[in-house]
């Protein structure tokens, strides 16, 4: 399954690369940015449960970066790849009241635009769920390496089955300057496919590192990670909160008796440092309850480190 998914992934990447420029032509789309973020509850409350871990990477394709996204649809493209594991609180003893184990691999192609200061993202992709992702084997291998409990057969036998889900998404945000260093950015976003929801929220930044770059929102924690960076250096503090109405979730199928919490809340803090050739981000997110029998919310950490040569 990994080989098939990698082949599909490369098929999407390679046509986007193109040549940089020829004397008689406009510059062609090529790779101009990259971002990678890890999120894991071991970096938060350390309890290894529910939204337990994800890796998200984005490759940005366009022409010369001008400090903001272009106006036209399709001029700046983001190829996003994510692997995510969702798990019950107890990996050994199966609990029918807890959420089922789930592994999902997602690939998405998004177009980023900016019109009159409003940032717009539109895109779609494919989510692959179930044992075919082999993420259950990967978690078992990592837990064995770390000496942590491995998912038992009883837990994995109840995991979300093999399925493919087309995904579409849209997001709109607008930044308002509060001072030379502070900005407020309300946003709305919608998604359908693996999960179907409408979300509204706000992000606040204090510092200059958000200026002149392109930030992508990680779907699990809500933290935003850099794929294109501005020239400023130093520290930036970020904070945010949002609420979503969730209509459906492939990870909590109501046909199997799971009762969704339709109102889903998140809150987050983060700190980013950027030097001349290296930058780092750590964020902490509170994720509210996602299903009725979930006992409480959870704290999840997010980490990004970038090197520039």
pLDDT of residue 210: 66
pLDDT of residue 102: 96
Rounded mean pLDDT of 7-30?
Answer: 51
- pLDDT for 256 beyond 70: yes
Confidence grade of residue 243 (pLDDT, cut at 50, 70, 90): very high
- pLDDT for 307 beyond 90: no
Averaged pLDDT of the chain: 88
What is the gyration radius of the CA atoms in the chain, in angstroms? 20
Q: Two tokens at 104? A: 């999902």
Q: What is the pLDDT of residues 146-188, one digit of tens each?
A: 778 888 999 999 999 999 999 999 999 999 999 888 999 999 9
pLDDT of residue 146: 76
- pLDDT for 37 beyond 90: yes
- Residue 133 is classified by DSSP as G
Phi, psi of 129 (to 5 degrees): -120, 160
∠ Cα 39 41 44 (to 5°): 100
Q: Structurally, what CATH architecture does the domain formed by 2-307 represent?
A: Beta Barrel (2.40)
H-run or E-run covering 290: none
Residue 69: CB atoms within 10 Å: 22
pLDDT of residue 148: 80
**CB-CB contact of 251 with 195 (8 Å):** yes
Phi, psi of 103 (to 5 degrees): -120, 135
**How far apart, in whole angstroms, are the C-alpha atoms of residue 223 and residue 304?**
10
Q: What SS3 state is found at 6?
A: helix
pLDDT of residue 19: 40
**CB-CB contact of 155 with 139 (8 Å):** no
pLDDT of residue 8: 45
- pLDDT for 14 beyond 70: no
Confidence grade of residue 25 (pLDDT, cut at 50, 70, 90): low
Give pTM, 2 decimals. Answer: 0.87
**How far apart, in whole angstroms, are the C-alpha atoms of residue 272 and residue 280?**
6
Q: What SS3 state is found at 139?
A: helix
Confidence grade of residue 42 (pLDDT, cut at 50, 70, 90): confident
């Amino acid at each position: 399954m990994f080989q098939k998914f990698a082949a599909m992934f490369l098929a999407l990447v390679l046509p986007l690369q193109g040549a940089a420029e020829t004397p008689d032509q406009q510059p062609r789309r090529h790779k101009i940015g990259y971002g990678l973020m890890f999120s894991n509850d071991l970096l938060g409350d350390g309890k290894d449960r529910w939204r337990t871990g994800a890796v998200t990477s984005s490759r940005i394709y366009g022409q010369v970066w001008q400090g903001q996204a272009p106006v036209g649809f399709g001029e700046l493209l983001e190829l996003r790849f994510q692997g995510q594991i969702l798990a019950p609180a107890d990996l050994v003893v199966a609990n029918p009241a807890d959420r089922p184990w789930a592994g999902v691999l997602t690939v998405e192609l998004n177009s980023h635009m900016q019109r009159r200061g409003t940032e717009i993202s539109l895109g779609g992709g494919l989510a692959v769920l179930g044992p075919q992702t082999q993420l259950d084997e990967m978690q078992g291998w990592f837990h064995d390496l770390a000496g942590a409990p491995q998912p038992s057969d009883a837990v994995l036998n109840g995991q979300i089955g093999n399925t493919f889900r087309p995904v579409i998404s849209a997001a709109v945000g607008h930044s308002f300057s509060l001072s030379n260093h502070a900005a407020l950015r309300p946003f709305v976003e919608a998604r359908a496919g693996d999960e179907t929801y409408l979300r509204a929220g706000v992000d606040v930044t204090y510092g200059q590192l958000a200026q002149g770059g392109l930030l992508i929102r990680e779907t699990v924690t809500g933290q935003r990670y850099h794929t294109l960076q501005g020239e400023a250096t130093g520290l930036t503090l970020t904070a945010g909160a949002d609420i979503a109405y969730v209509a459906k979730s492939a990870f909590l199928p109501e046909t199997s008796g799971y009762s969704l919490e339709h109102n889903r809340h998140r809150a987050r803090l983060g700190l980013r440092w950027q030097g001349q050739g290296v930058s780092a981000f750590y964020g902490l997110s509170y994720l509210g309850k996602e299903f009725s029998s979930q006992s409480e919310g959870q704290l999840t950490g997010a980490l990004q480190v970038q090197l520039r040569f």
